[in-house]
Chain A
Amino acid sequence: MNSEPGSISSWQMDIFREIANVGAGNAATALATLLDCRIDQTVPKVELVALGDIPDIVGGPGKFVVGGMIDFYGDLQGHLLLILDVDQTVRIVSLVTGAEPRPFEGDEFLFSLSELDESALKETLNIMSGSYLTAISKFTDLEIIPSIPYLCIDMAAPVLSVVIAEAALMGDYALLFESQLSNGAQNISGSLFFIPDRESYQLLLKALGCEE
């Protein structure tokens, strides 16, 4: 599958949107349970984005973010990537650990995670991604096995760079599955990206009875 605009039919896009909806909906529910607060999910966006425009989705290439990534294997291969602002991270960690939100002194660019923070964040990732991938697995009847979570705190462009490189294998555009998960009152929000590799896109379509 190449990723040129116009190369994906609207029918196929609908299938992809449904997949994103199923995954994100379940991840939102899991997150809500973990944080013990309501989590809303925006209608998942499935769209072709030029490679160079991907960092703008999360606020720009130099925006400082916390990235959590899970690889998945099995019938489907790819990555799940959660991008959070620093203050979102602090809030989520506080909700998970029950501790007071840690004030960060001065520059967010000097922000670092304690071992406990890291643990809490990885656990959050595990739960969210487990739920997302299980839902997709059931929906498509394909086996999907998640890896352990990896964290990276840096500018958005480097955090996204491997995902962009993977997408670059398919063309100059990426088919991005993006969901915004948020809770207005708690001011939590994050961007969740589901990035299957080239062969997996085909498999997803095939599994849902729609071939190219």
Chain B
Amino acid sequence: MPNHFVNIAEMKVCREPDTVYAVGLGSCIGVVMFDPSTKIAGMLHVLLPSSEGFDMSKNVKTKFADLGVKVLLEAMLKEGARKQSLWAKMAGGAMMFPSKSDLVGTVGERNIAACRKSIQELGIRLIAEDVGGTKGRTVELNTTTGELKVKIVQVGEKYI
């Protein structure tokens, strides 16, 4: 049963019994979509909120919340997922260092807002999230139950 690792700026789609997972989401966001009717799942590992002003010939779409979430949805639909039964969950967006620097201090929360916005604009229901805080998260999607396991170092595991 292959577990598909979704690295920084990557997006992967799979179906039950395979799973998708991401390790060490800090300010990054892991956006997950799942269709319980077909057991098709996908995960996107987003780094930045917006692609505005970027030369897209030199930057991968899946790096950005505004473009990446759409890429994820399209891949899911192409695989055979049904949009009406799809839902989304997300995790991450922590502020790892309490720095005063603009980017460092705010990229996590801007990623959270941008992902929520993209998901909503695509007409997908965001049914759960574990975001913010100051700790890294490792996430894995159970493609049978749709549960997203969120592991936080020194704290433990939770399921959303």
B126 at the interface (CB under 8 A from A): no
Residue numbers in B under 8 Å from A51 (CB-CB): 8-9, 47, 63
A172 to B24, CA, bound (A): 19
* Known A52-B9, A71-B101, A109-B153: A159·B96 in contact at CB below 8 Å: yes
Interface digits, B122-137 against A, CB 8 Å rule (1 contact, 0 not)?
0000000000001111
Nearest-Cβ distance from residue B110 to partner chain A, whole angstroms = 10
Q: Does B23 sit within 8 A of A, measured CB to CB?
A: yes
Given the known interface contacts A109-B153, A164-B8, A171-B58, the answer about A155 and B24 at a Cβ–Cβ threshold of 8 Å is yes
A4 to B100, CA, bound (A): 29
User: What is the distance, in angstroms, from B94's C-beta to the closest C-beta of chain A?
Assistant: 7
B103: chain A residues at CB < 8 Å are: 162, 165-166, 169
B138 interface contact, C-beta 8 A: yes
Contact between A150 and B97 (Cβ–Cβ < 8 Å)? Answer: yes
CB <8 Å contact, A157 and B107: no
A172 CB contact (under 8 Å) in B58, B99, B101, B136: B58
B153 and A61 contacting across the interface, CB-CB below 8 Å: no
Minimum CB–CB distance from A6 to chain B (whole Å) comes to 12
- Judged by a CB distance under 8 angstroms, whether A118 is at the interface is no
Contacts of A160 in B (CB 8 A): 26
Taking a contact as CB atoms under 8 Å apart, the answer to whether A71 and B100 are in contact is: yes
Check A154–B9 contact: CB distance below 8 A: no
Number of B positions contacting A (CB below 8 A): 34
Nearest Cβ on chain A to B36's Cβ, whole angstroms: 29
A152 at the interface (CB under 8 A from B): yes
CB under 8 Å from chain B, chain A span 1-55: 2, 4, 51-52, 54-55
Interchain CA distance A162-B26 in the complex, whole Å: 8
Smallest beta-carbon distance A110→chain B, Å: 6
In Å, the complex CA distance between A150 and B134 comes to 13
Decide if A4 touches B27 in the complex (CB within 8 Å).
Answer: no
Contact partner of B9 (CB less than 8 A), chosen from A2, A110, A151, A168, is: A168
Report if B73 contacts A (CB, 8 A).
no
Contact indicator B23/A155 (Cβ below 8 Å): yes
Complex Cα gap A162–B24 (Å): 12
Given contacts A155-B23, A162-B26, 7 further A-B contacts (CB under 8 A): A62-B138, A69-B97, A112-B154, A147-B99, A147-B101, A151-B97, A162-B103
B interface, CB within 8 angstroms of A: 7-10, 23-28, 47-48, 55, 58-60, 63, 94, 96-101, 103-104, 107, 134-138, 153-154
15 CB contacts below 8 A, A to B, read A52-B9, A55-B24, A64-B153, A69-B99, A71-B99, A79-B101, A112-B154, A147-B99, A152-B96, A152-B134, A158-B94, A162-B99, A165-B107, A166-B104, A168-B59
